[in-house]
Amino acid sequence: MSDKNQGWSQRTRLAQALGAMDETTRGLVPPIHVTTTFERDADNGYSSGNMYGRPDNETVRLAGSIICELEGGADAIVLGSGMSAALAVFHALAPGDHVIAPRVMYWALRNWLATEAVRWGLDISFVDCCDTRAVEAAIKPGQTKLVWLETPSNPLWEVSDIAAVAEIAHRAGAKLCVDSTCATPLLTQPLALGADLVMHAATKYLNGHSDVIAGAVVTAKQDEFWSRVTRIRREHGMILGPFEAYLLVRGMRTLDLRVRAACASALELAQRLEQHPSVAQVLYPGLASHPQHQIALRQMRGGFGGMLSIRVKGGEAAAIATAAHVTLWKRATSLGGVESLIEHRASIEGAGSPCPTDLLRLSCGIEDPQDLYRDLDEALPR
């Protein structure tokens, strides 16, 4: 898009993929660049800026540019998965560095931090990151180099105060990275609240169609730490393929519409399920009963996300039975797609999981919320 149109809304810029198109044919769909190598100039240089397909691909760059603009960052990279994106940040640290991470967070990353990261030499403290006093108490002066937040956190949907934690991290000389996968750039802007980095499992809402594995990291500034992150992506081969990048770009063009629909459904379901006789508790930041609702009101805009969890009366057996009897909701891992998913998380996470055994995680898609509620209502135990 031209400079004169930079005042257009996120929704408009997303719909047109920042105005990208095929300049050769004037086609409105950006092409997929699949070449793995590029010709040098006669003077032995690379005036195109492209040298080799691992770090250099225009389709991949376009995906990163869209995410970077959405987050208001200085630069962004896309990678082969959400885990690759997170690990690129952690590998940019040095052995002996101290990291503060949430006690409840994406389970695969939490498990990596508790096992492989420790073996590699990182010092990890799992903290209730909704409690800023607990975060401050966990700081190790001169050693803490990174605070990692996930907000809202999966699967309890707790909300951390990004601005307050950023201040704590920066006073200690540490960086703050926020996993904003479930909030998406449309609902929360971590960099504007003081975060240094934002991570997305782009597999989820950014792609939105359950057909791409991808990740992204956005930085507030291009400093030495960011140089290490990008170097790790390049040298470790943590890349996204051009076809996957094309699908990611295509998915992001409808991000605004999908997220709005998911947020509206999640809020309606949360309000109705909170009154359901078979539901002991609904966990959703948009409810006044949520312990961090006021923080969510302050730092989220346009909605509270498409994710919620319910705790079923009758315990684990009742929760598993509920998931077994739905027909419209799909029993599957993941979130953020156009189809609605239900999952008994404790079964997936296994021993050591902080997830209550009576909890079902719900990812709202774009179906009619009345149909989604009726399906749950008929499956819940009486």
pLDDT in tens, 252-299: 999 999 999 999 999 999 999 999 999 999 999 999 999 999 999 999
Torsion from C-alpha of 195, 200, 204, 210, nearest 10 degrees: 170
pLDDT surpasses 90 at 350: no
pLDDT bin (cut points 50, 70, 90) of residue 15 is confident
Q: What pLDDT shows up at residue 24?
A: 79
pLDDT band at 51 (very low <50, low <70, confident <90, very high): confident
How large is the angle between the packed helices 242-252 and 58-71, nearest 10 degrees?
A: 30
Average pLDDT of the chain is 95
pLDDT at position 5? 55
Judged against a pLDDT cut of 60, whether residue 2 lies above it is answered with no
Catalytic residue IDs? 54, 106, 179, 204
Domains and CATH numbers, the chain: 3-252 (3.40.640.10), 255-379 (3.90.1150.10)
> What local confidence, expressed as pLDDT, does residue 93 receive?
98
pLDDT for residue 145: 98
User: Rounded CA gap, 152 and 255, in Å?
Assistant: 18
DSSP string, 297-338: HHH--S-S-SEEEEEETTHHHHHHHHHHH-SSSEE-S--SSS
- First vs last C-alpha separation in the chain: 55
pLDDT digits (tens, 9 = 90+) for 313-343: 999 999 999 999 999 999 999 999 999 999 9
For the ranges 7-16, 99-108, 126-135, 303-312, which has the lowest average pLDDT? 7-16
pLDDT in tens, 111-161: 999 999 999 899 999 999 999 999 999 999 999 999 999 999 999 999 999
Global pTM value: 0.93
pLDDT at 25 exceeding the cut of 90: no
What span, in angstroms and rounded, lies between the C-alpha atoms of 31 and 139?
A: 47
**Mean pLDDT to the nearest integer, 181-198:** 98
